[in-house]
């Protein structure tokens, strides 16, 4: 494996493909998967905001908790993503969407990747423990489930890897709530379940779009192992599992229950349309886009509806 440094460089050796021009900042953001960090901040903030509301605490009087929680969570997610890139350095070159990662191009050396990942996790976990013990422990559980259970164990071995990976993706709103109130309310657990159930149909849609890439990398994603027909059926079943959840969130008000139910029914209708649509990849793209809008609307609505 060739080493690298923070300064981007193009491959100029004859016979080797030209590497894309990047900056040190762009390589760093790719290493920590900044998109994943940012999307998780929405769910973390929502969990924290709702905990403030349910415990009659004012947001502006708890700015230290907000700072420790958001920064600590961002660091452990970024650190875990870095370790994931380190673990996947042998298969990322085989996939179009990952072959430009700095761990593939050599623009950031593997010792630096490990150092960044471990340092971020240690600092981030420390910040979470400054809020509550429960938040710190949940952070560690999230790191373990993503780095060990998903990246190191299930991703390359089991078709259930997406479900295993959903554990870590569902923990962020719990961290946000626990940083304020370690006695996790039923609403906190509903946030966990929404995130857990949302991920399989979201990532199965992506796996359908990238099926041949996963096949080339020998990753046993559901569409690769079981085919599109089975994958579509699983996606619909996961969306069905979302239907009852809003009714356990009555403290958020009837407006939220109605909105969430409409979104769930809309997603289910789109899922069922896949049995009639001839173009599976077009349908998968629609499901993927809907899932992104679904999550954003749901979590932003929880904040807005507790303010008005």
> Which pLDDT value is given to residue 100?
87
Confidence of residue 123 (pLDDT cuts 50, 70, 90): very high
Confidence of residue 1 (pLDDT cuts 50, 70, 90): very low
> Which pLDDT value is given to residue 307?
86
The answer on pLDDT for 169 being more than 50 is: yes
Confidence of residue 88 (pLDDT cuts 50, 70, 90): very high
- Regarding predicted confidence, which is higher, 115 or 94? 115
The answer on pLDDT for 166 being more than 50 is: yes
Mean pLDDT, the chain, as a whole number? 92
Place of tokens 């999307």: 39
> Which pLDDT value is given to residue 174?
98
> Which pLDDT value is given to residue 261?
98
pLDDT digits (tens, 9 = 90+) for 52-80: 999 999 988 999 999 999 999 999 999 99
The fraction of the chain above a pLDDT of 70, given in percent, is 94
The answer on pLDDT for 211 being more than 50 is: yes
CA gap 148, 281 in Å, rounded: 31
> Which pLDDT value is given to residue 213?
93
């Amino acid at each position: 494996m060739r080493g690298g440094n923070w300064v981007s460089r193009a491959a100029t050796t004859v016979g080797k493909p030209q590497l894309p021009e990047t900056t040190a900042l762009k390589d760093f953001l790719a290493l920590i998967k900044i998109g994943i960090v940012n999307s998780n901040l929405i769910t973390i903030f929502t969990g924290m905001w709702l905990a403030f509301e349910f415990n009659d605490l004012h947001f502006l009087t708890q700015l230290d908790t907000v700072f420790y929680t958001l920064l600590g969570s961002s660091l452990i997610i970024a650190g875990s993503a870095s370790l994931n890139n380190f673990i996947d350095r042998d298969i990322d070159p085989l996939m179009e969407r990952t072959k430009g990662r700095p761990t593939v191009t050599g623009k950031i050396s593997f010792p630096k990747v490990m150092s960044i990942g471990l340092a971020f996790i240690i600092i981030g976990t420390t910040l979470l423990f400054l809020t509550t013990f429960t938040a710190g422990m949940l952070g560690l559980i999230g790191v373990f489930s993503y780095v060990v259970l998903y990246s190191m164990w299930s991703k390359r071995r089991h078709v259930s890897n997406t479900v295993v990976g959903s554990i870590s993706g569902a923990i962020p709103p719990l961290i946000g709530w626990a940083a304020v109130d370690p006695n996790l309310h039923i609403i906190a657990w509903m946030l966990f379940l929404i995130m857990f159930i949302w991920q399989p149909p979201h990532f199965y849609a992506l796996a359908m779009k990238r099926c041949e890439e996963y096949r080339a990398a020998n990753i046993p994603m559901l569409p690769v192992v079981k085919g599109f027909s089975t994958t579509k059926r699983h996606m619909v079943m996961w969306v069905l599992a979302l239907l009852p959840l809003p009714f356990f969130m009555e403290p958020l008000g009837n407006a939220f229950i109605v909105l969430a139910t409409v979104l769930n029914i809309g997603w289910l209708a789109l899922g069922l349309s896949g049995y009639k649509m001839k173009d599976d990849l077009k349908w998968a793209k629609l499901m993927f886009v809907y899932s992104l809008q679904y999550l954003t609307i749901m979590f932003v609505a929880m904040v807005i509806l507790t303010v008005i």
